[in-house]
Amino acid sequence: MENSIYGPYRDILPRIKDDFTERIRTFQRLEKEHTGYKICEHLLSRVKSEESMRQKLEKRGLKADYKNALTQIKDSIGIRIVCDFIDDIYKNVENLKNLSGVSVHEEKDYIHHAKPNGYRSYHMILVSEEPFGDVYGNTPGEFFIEVQLRTIAMDTWAALEHQIKYKKSIKNQNLITGELKRCADELASCDLSMQTLRNLIRESE
């Protein structure tokens, strides 16, 4: 425990992650029951690995301790919601905002405002009230949770781009980056077409 970057929170963070994930799965289940449509294709969650957290703290020039890991870095708990359609992303966002004891610390809409490299996703940093003491000594405590929401197409693109970003020795970087951007734009166009098709199918039902 003493060696963990998360100190006394090492075993608490996975519990918060699991409880919060269950709350998401619950509103997604209710949505399906009410409308007949699923709003999530799949969901992933993780506590940031010790190594990644230490690297991130070092990169930011911060002391490697659990207080910084839980307050200065806001993605110690990360959840990714992958959806079939763009509208489903915004339905999940709405539901997340309606959860009790949860507030939005930051949100970035990289779907309407894609990154220059073509990256698209909806990012939220949430603050969740939890039945554990936080680093400030408050109980219930407040804990950051990062939620990334994407379509399957956006997720596929991000996975490939992530691989390339970390392969520093790759040849033809510029060509690959340019082609990736083109793919991102084409996938975004497909996402829009798929959304339109779904709307048409629903209207005709």
Residues that bind ligand 0O2 (CB under 6 A): 52, 75, 108, 115, 117, 119, 123, 158, 161-162
3-state secondary structure of 124: strand
Residues 134, 75: Cα–Cα separation, whole Å: 16
Nearest distance in Å: CB 72, ligand 0O2? 10
Residues 17, 79: Cα–Cα separation, whole Å: 8
| Residue 161 token pair | 């781009």
Nearest distance in Å: CB 164, ligand 0O2? 9
Q: How many other C-beta atoms can be found within 10 angstroms of the C-beta atom of residue 140?
A: 13
Nearest distance in Å: CB 189, ligand 0O2? 19
Residue nearest ligand 0O2 (C-beta atom): 119
Nearest distance in Å: CB 170, ligand 0O2? 15
The bridge status of strand 77-83 relative to strand 122-130 is unpaired
Residues 29, 155: Cα–Cα separation, whole Å: 22
The residue (of 75 and 134) whose beta carbon lies closer to ligand 0O2 is 75
The residue (of 31 and 122) whose beta carbon lies closer to ligand 0O2 is 122
The residue (of 117 and 199) whose beta carbon lies closer to ligand 0O2 is 117
Nearest distance in Å: CB 177, ligand 0O2? 11
The residue (of 90 and 119) whose beta carbon lies closer to ligand 0O2 is 119
The residue (of 31 and 76) whose beta carbon lies closer to ligand 0O2 is 76
Nearest distance in Å: CB 2, ligand 0O2? 25
Say if residues 24 and 79 touch (Cβ distance below 8 Å).
yes
In the chain, the largest separation of any two C-alpha atoms, in whole Å, equals: 60
Residues 6+ apart with CB under 8 A from 198: 85, 87
Secondary structure tally for the chain: helices H, strands E: 6, 5
The residue (of 44 and 190) whose beta carbon lies closer to ligand 0O2 is 44
